Structure 1
Amino acid sequence: MGGCISTSSRGEVVSPTCFDVGCCGSKRTKRTFLDHVIGLQHLPSVPNRIFTNGKSRSSCIFTQQGRKGINQDAMIVWEDFMPEDVTFCGVFDGHGPHGHLVARKVRDALPLKLLSSLHSCQSRQNGTGQTCFKGSSEKLDSGDSEKEVSAEDRLTSLWREAFMKSYKAMDKELRSHPNLDCFCSGSTAISIVKQGSNLFMGYIGDSRAVMGSKDGDDSMVAVQLTVDLKPDLPREAERIKKCKGRVFALQDEPEVCRVWLPFDNAPGLAMARAFGDFCLKEYGVISMPEFSHRLLTERDQFIVLASDGVWDVLSNEEVVEIVSSAPSRSSAARILVDSAAREWKLKYPTSKMDDCAVVCLFLDGKMDSESDYEEQGYSSATLQSCHSGNAGESDDGGNKSEPSLQRNFTVRTSEESDSFGNGRLHPEDLEGNGNTVAGEDQNWSGLEGVTRVNSLIQLPRFSEERPNQ
């Protein structure tokens, strides 16, 4: 996916207290986060942070470009995200003319905003800059079970507020970015934080998280952790319509509901929540994430985050089966993407395959001693992958390998429309709430049709004036 772009929102400062102070206020002696990030341009050198095809201590990630132009998917695993056994993972699927730039910007900026928001929320709660984050709620000396539950509730509340604030700040930065046009471009986001036995999740759009877990018979089962936030979900549709936005499907794809402006059949966004897409932000599309918390058990084996290019052609059960049966853990993400690519060719040979990005996080923290990349002559530390198609990234809205305004085929032309089929199946009542996870007994199928176009029409800018550089 190429080099990492700069990550900071201008004027935002991440408090040193968040990194220089240990979990109970003691001064840390080992090398800290800020030692590695002297100026945010050095973010690619932060240890235990991977964002290109490769592996880490407990995960592997892989992305492959589809047939619609530049790869608009981005992904990240950041181990040691905080000093106390915390790992951050995310997958971001861009759409629109500059979707690839939006996805990369979110990939780099959102984790830091989450840290900053978490520290801010914690400081406000206890009146100090000292934090005491634990992987699970601590038992108090009194042994009072109600107090123990209350401690866990406070931790969940802390992360919930941090997710909400960081997503809001991320969208605000995109709106004011001087060189990145997000009027008709945007990105989904699914981000998780594993802190000990706690799993915290925040997500917008239709990228998805699924967990592989063992049932009572030691058989591997798929547990969907997130809900695809589509415009036809009852709560999403109601919100959009109250804001004067319109939700309907085109005649040639009757089961793909899209969001349209009240006064024009544009842009046809196939999701109800996203970063960017400011042409629709006044008409019901929001960037507020759904949040959920789950306590992990010893039966939970791994978590898969993937963009919808994977879920369009593979079921939750198929994904869990592919990952659990991979010859090595370090090859699981690549094998899953390869399987999705084969399914695209078999099921929809006349369609344009979507980009695919996968993060596989193994919950026991173990990885193979050797990776398939090394066996095939690849280095897991390589920053440029022949599969990513995203060489030469920059944070100023440009791309070193091609002009930033090059059309990326996420927006469909009228000529292309005739070559696409239709069909998307949605189960009823897919609504989730901020405190629950998706039911384990439901199979949430992805796109059943032959295309994946998130927005149909590129709207012109209302003004040709460029902001001052």
Structure 2
Amino acid sequence: MFTEIGRFIKSRWLSRRGRSAEGDLFSALDIGRHPYGQYSVATIQANELNEDAWQVETCPTLAGTFVGVYDGHGGPEASSYVKENLFPQLLRYVVETGCMSSDALMKAFDTTEKGFESLVAEAWPSIPQLASVGSCCLVGVVLKNMLFVANLGDSRAVLGTIGKTARNMAHVQLTLEHNAGVEAVQKELQSLHPEDSNIVICRQGIWRVKGIIQISRSIGDFYLKKQHFNREPLFPRFRLPSLPRPVLSAEPTVLIHELQPHDKFVIFASDGLWEHLSNQEAVEIVSMHPYKGAATRLVKAATRKAAEKREVRYSDMKKIGRGVRRHFHDDITVIVLFFDHALIGDHAGVGGMPSIDSYLIPFHQ
């Protein structure tokens, strides 16, 4: 356990290194391949620490593709832990049951949450602030012609599909957002905590759970889940008078979608993208250009809009370094997963489960 804690502290230190020009804040994989087509990835850092993580992985035996976008907050430790542990846990449950299912996803999220809690408990005497670190978690799994999407927090998955005419690209939002600014989330929290009139508080136009955090579900953030972690020496701004039961949850919402020939791609992205682009704008940007560099175009479109909102030239904003840049936009992580339905058809009859020793081979991390 100490080795794991040391690794996370090292990751925090490494994220502070380097210059702050945009070339050091931006990274991309213009095009990569997965069993059902191609994918594109791009990220741009705005915070002082790079708190996001992502992954695209595949299992040759299952002929499946796994996508993860992890939007961390309070530090990089939770998103890093999820990246290292969620996928192996999912594989374990799939192997045990012999099939991919929403139940396997739910169990993988739960095991990952419990694993990070153990890490936080072990670190509490020396690193109590780890209890205030958390991560949104957006996962997609493509297996044969089935798409599974699981989500915690306010990242979003949007399907790009052909509309009524071949020239009309439509969007379908595949995820529910667990954000206190959403009326349905406010009602859910109020129904779960009828005795607490301050379960959601609006300050300066922003709704937050207990006036502290915008999201209502996450991995980590144990200071809002366990009384043991909501006390000294945790920073006073995180402490509540009492925490009789959790106010945040780690239970994801899961959607299963059968892919159709008109379904062309899915955009998996942290909320930093959706603060500046609508679902329709995003799918149109992707559909109007080649696959290569699709995620980069989305990130650049979002940062251009962020500059316009603050009446700053895009060329000038590119010179703004980490930390200060957060006043213009959030960290942004985008994965665009394209579908080749000829390949999906080729895999339609693939079966069999891997042994636990076969593990999964990453395409890119």
**Fold-level match, TM-score > 0.5?**
yes
1:318 is aligned to 2:297:
no
* Count of paired positions: 275
1:197 is aligned to 2:145:
yes
Once the 2 structures are TM-superposed, how far is the Cα of residue 290 of structure 1 from its aligned partner?
0.5
1:220 is aligned to 2:150:
no
1:72 is aligned to 2:51:
yes
Which structure dedicates a bigger proportion of its chain to strand? 2
| 1-structure distance, mates of 2:214, 2:51 | 16
1:163 is aligned to 2:112:
no
1:258 is aligned to 2:208:
yes
Superposed CA deviations along residues 56-87 of structure 1, whole A, max 9, x for unmatched, are: 21111111011x312212111113x3513210
- Please name the residue that 1:236 is paired with: 188
Higher relative contact order (CA 8 A, sep 6+): 2
RMSD value, Cα: 2.6
Report matched runs for 1:50-449 at 5 Å: 53-54=28-29, 55-57=31-33, 58-66=38-46, 68-79=47-58, 81=59, 83-96=61-74, 98=75, 100-120=76-96, 122=97, 131=98, 133=99, 159-177=101-119, 178-179=122-123, 182-218=130-166, 219-231=168-180, 232=183, 233-242=185-194, 244=196, 246-253=198-205, 256-260=206-210, 268-281=212-225, 282-326=245-289, 328-349=290-311, 351-364=327-340
| 2-structure distance, mates of 1:242, 1:364 | 48
| 2-structure distance, mates of 1:193, 1:300 | 15
TM-score, length basis structure 1: 0.55
Larger radius of gyration: 1
Which residue identity is paired with 2:298? Answer: L
| 2-structure distance, mates of 1:240, 1:258 | 16
Could you list the runs of 4 or more consecutive aligned residues of structure 1 that deviate by over 6 angstroms after TM superposition?
A: none
Fraction of identical pairs, as percent: 29
Which residue identity is paired with 2:56? Answer: V
Superposed CA deviations along residues 254-302 of structure 1, whole A, max 9, x for unmatched, are: xx21111xxxx5xx11011001011111332100110111101000000
| 1-structure distance, mates of 2:192, 2:108 | 23
For structure 2, the 5+ residue unaligned runs are: 6-26, 226-244, 313-326, 344-362
Once the 2 structures are TM-superposed, how far is the Cα of residue 216 of structure 1 from its aligned partner?
2.7
Which structure dedicates a bigger proportion of its chain to helix? 2
TM-score, length basis structure 2: 0.69
| 2-structure distance, mates of 1:344, 1:102 | 27
Superposed CA deviations along residues 300-332 of structure 1, whole A, max 9, x for unmatched, are: 000000000000010000000111122x31200
Q: Indicate the larger mover: 193-202 or 347-356.
A: 347-356
| 1-structure distance, mates of 2:328, 2:298 | 19
Once the 2 structures are TM-superposed, how far is the Cα of residue 239 of structure 1 from its aligned partner?
4.9
